[in-house]
Amino acid sequence: MFAEVSFPISSYQTFSYKVPERLAKKITVGIRVKVPLGRRKVNGIVVGINNTSSFKGKIREIHDLIDDQQVLNDNLWSLIKWLSKYYNSPLGLAAKAVLPSNLSTKYKPKVETLVKALNVESFNDSLGKAQKTIYKHLQSLDDSVSVKTLSNMCSNPKDICNKLAEKGLVSLLDRPILPNLSEFAFKSENKKITLTQAQKVALEKMVSCMDKNKFSPILLHGVTGSGKTEIYIEAARHAININKTVIILLPEISLTPQIAGRFRSAFGDDVALWHSKLSQGARAWTWKQICGGKFKVVIGARSAIFAPLKNVGLIVVDEEQESSYKQESPSPRYHARDVALMRGKLDSASVVLASATPSMESYYNHLNGKYDYIHLKERFGGAKYPKVHVVDMIKEAEETELYGNIFSRLLLEKIQDRLSKKEQIILFHNRRGFAPVLRCEDCGEISMCPHCNIALTYHRIGKYLQCHFCNHTEKEIPSKCPSCQSFNISLSGTGTQKVEDELLNIYPNSRIKRLDADSVRSGINLTKILQEFHENKIDILLGTQMIAKGLDFANATLVGIINGDTGLFLPDFRSSEKVFQLIYQASGRSGRGKIPGEVIVQTYSPDNPVIKSATKLNVEEYYNICLEERKALLYPPYSWIVKLEIRGKKINEVEESINKIKNKMVRPPKGISILGPALCYREKLRDYYRIQLILKSKKELDVNGSKLHKYYKSILSKNIIKEIPSKQRLIIDINPVSLL
């Protein structure tokens, strides 16, 4: 018997191996194996089993199986094959996305040894001094203790306990140390929930699909605070009742604690969390438990869509518009929303795409009748929509003669008002660090990352400059301009650390916390800050996009958006959509409880149509404008896009390669157009120059995108791939979310 094995490397080749007799019974397609490759032993995945092999050379033998039980059911295996094909990623890499190589069902958590004194009538008195002390101590305790805790009484507690055990005086017991899986979740709360009529209608739709075992995609478009999360919880309850499982995807780690807390209040230990801040041990343990069917609900970031749950009945993609659902690197460059739809199809599940600001794609699919559509137009409990004030910061500067001020007078006044009323404030600013640029006032030179053509951000805490793309860090802050030697250099622009400094200056007696990637390196800290804000122990919560969406704090009645324009002028067809969604979502954090809320949006472009619709909180108006634009320029959702990008250290060589590809695209089929080649907006990242070609295919002529797929695959024949020097990289991005 022979097995075809694929490896997580970027080649499409598979290799043949002999299956030894002892493994013949256990081996199946989709199982992971350890095999010799060259001089190493590597992990691979079995992609086929045959009685013969066409390979003529020497065939080696499989060493071992990685898992002691099958971890892939047929549907997950089909999902891997789909990922590989759709995203043009070698099977081994697609398999690795689903089955990370550091996870195995053979994982055993570390153990600790417990010791307990036994009741012994008499013993011959031959104990050493330390043995006697420890034994006496253990006798005085009612319960067993970890051997480790005895280390303050003697230097080698383990030896001593072993000796005592040999003499029959104590018993020893090994116990696995299990990770604390609840530390990333808010404390449990018991809230009485009776769904409203609108919520019931939404729930009914999900329930009926689950009962019928029918794949059904639903777009749940509910304004912020309309009670979407309560609907998922009830839908999950139904899934569990009929013996199905549930995946809840969240776009941002900062949403985990609150939502996980709400789910744990409902389902206790049936809930697993899956995100980047899990320790290696917690990760391995959680995964093994999921494989063993111990969890009913998995809540997590995009890779949670691959959770090895059986019989998935409900998948929720919360804030489905978020670009963090797209994996940029490594391959497969998948979009978790699309994977969710595919997995839902395979598992005949109900797939709920939920948002107050759906993506243009989903909105368009709804307009075309592809999704069931549920619109919740009102906030729960009659909570009012917040009142939005727009502050023109140019006028503000003219009137106050203060240029570059962070806070407008109106914002300060409203903050003061909330502080005096003991209501809470959320301030949103989408730039971390202290100041985004260090600039020479004389020649205009800006401190740039030597690896990326991007300005370094100054971090006041720790005093360093850092590139937010490659993390290159400079501890020495230049005192003079490297280009003209002038000492006249200054920090300009505003990051969250600067906003925090100013706040502390103005409101020294307030409790202010900053939440961004720098302040919450550990998940525990994140949970702590959010829980404190929830319990009213913080007055002002300041943060980046981490706090802009999904969070629910009843006493937060003021949201301030420090600079509503951030990102507005980036040369990407999605940038205005993102700005709209961010302002709308951030506003949605205000006034969710009984007290009505307000929002202050500070902007330098108050007449910009995006800012205008966003501050009017008018989704339909903006979506219509946006769709018109997309249609005129033939961007998604009116077209499919594939991005081909070459990266390399020498720009002329990169140009040469991309031109070779371009030259093959002489007469593309009708409906397909080609943009470029052009330098990417971020033209150099991590020492690599980037040039891209954008292929667009008009949806009208290419309903499911297969024409475009066929076309780009025909262009990227083996011959052309061979011509790209191995020092360069060709990146193929299907449905990219950003063209920057």
Residues that bind ligand ADP (CB under 6 A): 191, 193-196, 199, 222, 224-230, 380, 552, 592
Query: Is the bond preceding 257 in cis, omega lying within 30 degrees of 0?
Result: no
Ordered DSSP codes for 233-247: HHHHHHHHHTT-EEE
Q: Which residue is nearest to ligand ADP (CB)?
A: 227
The one of ligand ADP, Zn ion, none whose footprint includes residue 472, by CB under 5 to 8 A per kind, is Zn ion
Q: Closer CB to Zn ion, residue 480 or residue 710?
A: 480
CA distance 557 to 534: 13
Residue 429 beta carbon to Zn ion: minimum distance, rounded to whole angstroms:
22
449 binding Zn ion? (CB under 5 A) = yes
The one of ligand ADP, Zn ion, none whose footprint includes residue 591, by CB under 5 to 8 A per kind, is none
Residue 406 beta carbon to ligand ADP: minimum distance, rounded to whole angstroms:
29
651 binding Zn ion? (CB under 5 A) = no
Residue 466 beta carbon to Zn ion: minimum distance, rounded to whole angstroms:
9
The one of ligand ADP, Zn ion, none whose footprint includes residue 509, by CB under 5 to 8 A per kind, is none
The one of Zn ion, ligand ADP, none whose footprint includes residue 467, by CB under 5 to 8 A per kind, is Zn ion
For the chain, the straight-line distance linking the first and the last C-alpha, in angstroms and rounded, comes to 49
Q: Closer CB to ligand ADP, residue 225 or residue 261?
A: 225
CA distance 253 to 546: 8
Residue 461 beta carbon to ligand ADP: minimum distance, rounded to whole angstroms:
32
Question: Would you say 215 and 344 are in contact if contact means Cβ atoms under 8 Å apart?
Answer: yes
468 binding Zn ion? (CB under 5 A) = no
Q: Closer CB to ligand ADP, residue 170 or residue 586?
A: 586
Q: How many CB atoms lie within 10 A of CB 688?
A: 20
Q: How many CB atoms lie within 10 A of CB 664?
A: 13
Question: Would you say 120 and 168 are in contact if contact means Cβ atoms under 8 Å apart?
Answer: yes
Residue 592 beta carbon to ligand ADP: minimum distance, rounded to whole angstroms:
6
Q: Closer CB to ligand ADP, residue 115 or residue 353?
A: 353
The one of Zn ion, ligand ADP, none whose footprint includes residue 586, by CB under 5 to 8 A per kind, is none
Exactly one of 118, 367, 394, 443 binds Zn ion (CB under 5 A); that residue is 443
Residue entry with tokens 């009926």: 208
Residue 444 beta carbon to Zn ion: minimum distance, rounded to whole angstroms:
7
687 binding Zn ion? (CB under 5 A) = no
Question: Would you say 227 and 262 are in contact if contact means Cβ atoms under 8 Å apart?
Answer: no
CA distance 159 to 151: 11
The one of ligand ADP, Zn ion, none whose footprint includes residue 180, by CB under 5 to 8 A per kind, is none
DSSP type of residue 127:
-
Q: Closer CB to ligand ADP, residue 202 or residue 435?
A: 202
Q: 306 vs 2, 316, 319, 368, 503, CA distance in Å?
A: 28, 13, 18, 29, 43
Residue 323 beta carbon to Zn ion: minimum distance, rounded to whole angstroms:
20
- In single-letter form, the type of residue at position 565 comes to D
437 binding Zn ion? (CB under 5 A) = no
Question: Would you say 193 and 327 are in contact if contact means Cβ atoms under 8 Å apart?
Answer: no
- Residue 209 zone, left/alpha/beta (φ > 0; ψ -120 to 50; rest): alpha
Residue 447 beta carbon to Zn ion: minimum distance, rounded to whole angstroms:
11
Q: Closer CB to ligand ADP, residue 258 or residue 566?
A: 258
Query: Is the bond preceding 332 in cis, omega lying within 30 degrees of 0?
Result: yes
Q: Closer CB to Zn ion, residue 292 or residue 478?
A: 478
Pick the piece of the chain touching Zn ion (CB under 5 A) from 113-121, 180-188, 376-384, 451-459: 451-459
Residue 221 beta carbon to ligand ADP: minimum distance, rounded to whole angstroms:
10
Exactly one of 112, 378, 417, 445 binds Zn ion (CB under 5 A); that residue is 445
Q: 392 vs 31, 399, 429, 496, 636, CA distance in Å?
A: 60, 11, 17, 21, 32
440 binding Zn ion? (CB under 5 A) = yes
452 binding Zn ion? (CB under 5 A) = yes
Token pair recorded at residue 654: 């990169």
Q: Which residues contact 362 (CB under 8 A, 6 or more apart)?
A: 219, 320, 321, 337, 353, 355, 371
Q: Closer CB to ligand ADP, residue 74 or residue 189?
A: 189
Residue 520 beta carbon to ligand ADP: minimum distance, rounded to whole angstroms:
21
Q: Closer CB to Zn ion, residue 72 or residue 449?
A: 449
Closest-CA residue to 374 (of 206, 562, 578): 206
Question: Interface mask (CB under 5 A) for Zn ion, residues 480-519, using x and -?
Answer: -x-xx-x---------------------------------
Query: Using CB atoms within 10 A of its CB, is residue 740 exposed (0-12), middle (13-18) or buried (19+)?
Result: middle
Contacting residues toward Zn ion, per CB under 5 A: 440, 442-443, 445, 449, 451-452, 467, 469-470, 472, 481, 483-484, 486
